[in-house]
Structure 1
């Protein structure tokens, strides 16, 4: 035999001795016919001596007596070997195949015939000769019947099997066997390559599904499962009840795991299979296209699961009902084919109601994975920071701020470690790494504001600063109050923070929003109302829903500037426009109450906001016009430390003389810096007075010389 075929013991060698004896007996029978003038032209290309040599038969005379004598000896040997094999239990790969797929003796011998041509090239000559066709170098069904001298009763049984759907035709024979439109007796016995590889001790995943599959062995290391332990217990109990309370189970138990990407669906399937001490074959249907043969794929999946002694997990199976992939299969056919596998099958999907089929109605366990709760988020942050040796991770704070999946938490830690430790990037923070994991579509409806301001930059009355601090603390200690102290069980909604910032333009409303975002390391988005409010009925609500859904994923701060445009006083319903306008306002308020992050509504005129809405807002903060003392602080803080300032700047005079807001002061300082830069000089009172003149003109105020007192001369410069 071919030396490439590694025999662990003598068993397979003995099997091929058995095959050789069958072939030799049949060959000798053919020799007798030849001496009688039958088949006289047989073997023109392959001589009888070639076959004798291939079968290790000494060249004998072909007279009838010698052939009969040799045939009788071979029959005796055959009976002895067949008896030996019928009583012998082995660990050979061939016997494993027979046991796994419940094959009988004839099916086992058919596998032996099918792979023999791969074992030794001598069988090419033997089969070419015996088929009387040198182009057919493998055994045919007709030759198989003749060589084994199969009686009529067994022939009928074998033919029925070969024409039906059973383990042998679906998982052992080459998939094209049933497609070839020629008489059954003339069909060549070809075994699917996956079975051939298994017998040859090559146990890689079938090539037809390998690109879209992975195998998880139950003794592999996996991350610990941090989630609802009740889900594990109930699922394991359901599996036990289904399979062990009824011994006649022939259909699979479907375990449907629903959740968004990264919520731990595959991880849960792996964890359950590990508890069952079973391997898990995971196949993602997204990797297949409409040109592939679905039936072959399903056969390959089931065969692979049997060979790997695994249960099955299928991802994105909903693509079948959507007809985006494998258009030649229906949902019903999908489940009817899976029924050949009677063990648990995980169906991994993102939609609870994606596929309903009568074949799975009574054999389904539903598991829905949501975002992890606060307690589990803390455990996840701690677990992965410890696993990847990332120190100084505030799990409590990160849990409070971000509503993300277990996979996003894991990837955040990995990215932060890679960039900060391995690449020595000191500028990246754990918050930057977290936001990189969030696919944020808020930019379609809002503008992201870069937050530079902190507490030291803002000038506000103490009571206003105190309220803003309370807002930040409500986020920082959210888990403690809602989870540890149990308030979350008493409050079904309104767990977020909402505040209205009211005051004249330029008094620090937007700046305060930036300070809150900087303090909490959260992203701030200014909502573009023109993209939210629509004249078409239902579109505004649709946009608001998208806005808050995206914000939920990123825990972003939503900033509605000039909110009185949408939160104005409700009107009496005179026509359909009034009615739908009121519905939009109510819907926005509803979404704010449901949102567990921070929502900031800014308005210049609090009196324009409907009072019925004010009671449902957590904080109402008043931003007063700055007094002289506050204005002096604002003038000083607006100049960056790096800026070149002249000693002649009189902050006392500027604060006392010009009753303007912080926003106006910011504009004046920035413009004066450009004036000084153009002259290549330091910023002086001359530049400030000139810029002040421009700013006052914008707000319809005149700057008179007498207002400037000792600095009046600068007005002409």
Structure 2
């Protein structure tokens, strides 16, 4: 707590007290009954006659002098004139010295009015009550009121009898207390050590050139908030970071916005505000001495502010910058041979997210009793995923690996290619610039086509696991809507939320929403085509990793397949793959007797999903019978699977084991 400015403040209040003594003496000379014990409770006839016979003149004018210490710095930042400072002192006095409450009660001729009124404050400053220049200093647009340093209360009263009050936060600041306003808890905070981010030279130059409104458009992984905070710090300002969403949600958000501006003026800070959507609060926070750096994901709307801002894009951090941030935050904590840049190259994270992810990884490693590993790094990175997508899609933590896939070699190769595209897109797209122009995003998209149970969903899960990402499967029930335009809105919400998530987005049964456009015969066809056209454009601008899975590839619009990076056809497994599938699905953890895998793979033409379902059913049958899994349980499970598929259960397929089915 800094109290070095108090002698000057108390000296100014002592000078005010001397003027009040003179005012009291003058008042007593003109008072027809100065010793009346009920003074201030009523008006006598003599007092009324005195009021009618005289004019209310100002008291002895104050001698203007430069303010020093905190009061002087506040006057400089807020643009206060000498009169403003004196009005502030008049209103401040009762909060510093309780005697002034009685002084003002006497001078107001009302013992219940223990603060200075506008009229009394003007007269104590040597101005007539009708002075237009003096009254303008108490106007809502004046420096004192606009910055929230002074409050004019009792708006229902005539102007001259309205009370003046200095907010407690201003009083505390002038007395040396630097604690932030408690009313701003959860809405605003002072950033002590901004995360170093991309080059801030242009922004620092603008701030030093007195540019006071900047709009930073957030790109995925760009870190606009951190960029703004770093620029303010380099320009010599304290950073006051404001959560615009929380501020808007408060019922008294206008008063809180004024409190934010007041805090910035008191601290000599710049304000970082975001994310913005539509900001009437910008007018409240505008101040010639307070830099306002606003960030959001949309383009700037000129209607938000009369003054045009400096526009700046917070671009995705380069891979080298992200790597440097990881190493800086994890210096000395990494396990031998762990490269954070390689482990997290495909994660699109901003500088603040990297800092938090590094802390999360460090905590996990501490709990595990060792150094930070690749698994810790990726878990920390996933912890920064926004939660909004989980309301629109089902989140799956991958639990399978490449070894769990039983697919033809060519199919596995294409899956590896899709994972490689996700892993190396920074180098190919950003460094080598292999996708210039056209407004295309940095996304990686693939199509998985094949019959049900051929491994499409599992393959998407394996790709997510290999990248250390979560898998989000989109529920079509939350997307498709019978009302015109609603499907597009639902998809836009999904794509928007997915842009803030490092994960793999899986659209199962994709032909339902990515179907072919048709000839327009009625209004339904027209709107269906509009929906498809929207999806074509949105897929091109998507920056994430998306997989479309379908059982009916022929139903997909050709324009979609042209925009896809990898198309993978999943065939029904042949006899060799079916044998491997039976062996893997039955596993080696559940007890089993001799099972004829050769017969199962040659006799039953089932896809992998059906084989897995049959294996699980066989395990349940064995558990109920209290014995290991044998051919009786497996054949019985296959028969149940056949019935689910609508197939006949006959001797042709089941051969020598038909008796087991009948039993």
Does TM, normalized by the shorter one, top 0.5? yes
Of 180, 204, 220, which residue of structure 2 is paired with 1:236? 204
CA offset digits 1:411-454 (Å, max 9, x no partner): 33333333442476999854444444323555566555564443
CA contact (8 A) 2:445 2:546 kept: yes
Unaligned runs of 5+ in 2: 40-59
Mapped pair 1:554 → 2:501: yes
The aligned counterpart of 2:215 is: 256
Q: Could you say which residue in structure 1 is the equivalent of 2:177?
A: 202
Q: Deviations over 1:652-685 (max 9, x none)?
A: 3433444444344333322222222121111122
- The 10-residue stretch of structure 1 (622-631 or 633-642) with the greater mean CA deviation from structure 2: 622-631
Number of aligned positions between the proteins: 636
Question: Does the Cα contact within 8 Å between 2:220 and 2:316 map onto a contact in 1?
Answer: no
Residue in 1 aligned with 2:196?
224
Q: State the partner residue of 1:472.
A: 419
Q: How has the CA–CA distance of structure 1 residues 607 and 262 changed in structure 2, closer, same or farther, with 3 Å as cutoff?
A: closer
Q: Is the 8 A contact 2:5 2:70 kept in 1?
A: no
Inter-partner Cα distance in structure 2 for 1:291 and 1:397: 45
Distance 2:557 2:18 in 1: 98
Alignment correspondent of 1:667 = 613
Contact 1:676-1:687 within 8 A present in 2 as well: yes
Any stretches of 5+ residues in structure 1 without a counterpart?
47-77, 244-251, 322-330
Distance 2:18 2:179 in 1: 33
Indicate if the aligned counterparts of 1:548 and 1:595 stay in contact, CA closer than 8 A. yes
Q: 2:266 is matched with which residue: 300, 307, 315?
A: 307
| SS at structure 2 position matched to 1:641 | coil
Give the structure 2 partner of residue 214 of structure 1: 189
Secondary structure at the aligned position of 2:582 is classed as helix
Q: Quote the residue 1:369 is aligned against.
A: 314
- After superposing the two structures, state which structure 1 stretch, 186-195 or 477-486, moved more: 186-195
Taking a change above 3 Å as real, the CA distance of residues 90 and 307 of structure 1, as seen in their structure-2 partners, is same
- The yes-or-no answer on 1:287 pairing with 2:232 is no
Q: Distance between the aligned counterparts of 1:431 and 1:599, measured in 2?
A: 19
Alpha-carbon RMSD: 4.9
CA distance in 2 between partners of 1:469 and 1:159 (Å): 76
Shift of 1:638: 1.6
TM-score (norm 2): 0.76
Q: Is the 8 A contact 2:67 2:75 kept in 1?
A: no
Answer yes or no: is 1:42 the counterpart of 2:35. Answer: yes
* Within-5 A mapping of 1:520-539: 520-529=467-476, 532-539=479-486
Match of 1:461 in 2: 408
Compared CA separation, residues 412 and 22, structure 1 to 2 (3 A): closer
Name the counterpart of 1:409: 354
* Correspondence 1:288-687 to 2 at 5 A: 292=252, 294=254, 301-315=260-274, 321=280, 335=283, 341-354=288-301, 356=303, 359-361=306-308, 364-369=309-314, 371-372=316-317, 374-386=319-331, 392=338, 394-400=340-346, 402-422=347-367, 429-439=376-386, 441-442=388-389, 446-448=393-395, 451-489=398-436, 493=440, 496-529=443-476, 532-561=479-508, 574-578=521-525, 580-581=527-528, 584-585=531-532, 587-602=534-549, 616-646=563-593, 648-687=594-633
Residue pair 1:161, 1:169 contacting (<8 A) in 2 also: no
**C-alpha distance in 1, partners of 2:339/2:266?**
44
Residues 614 and 637 in structure 2, CA contact (< 8 A), matched pair in contact too? yes
SS at match of 1:557: strand
**d(CA) in 1 for partners of 2:292, 2:437:** 39
Partners of 1:674 and 1:471 in 2: how far apart?
Answer: 37
Q: Distance in 2 between matches of 1:146 and 1:281?
A: 38
Normalised by the length of structure 1, the TM-score is 0.71
Q: SS of the counterpart of 1:553? A: coil
Q: Point out the structure with max Rg over C-alpha.
A: 1
SS of residue paired to 1:473 = helix
Aligned in 2, Cα 1:388/1:253: closer, same or farther, shift over 3 Å?
Answer: farther
Q: CA deviation at 1:224?
A: 0.8
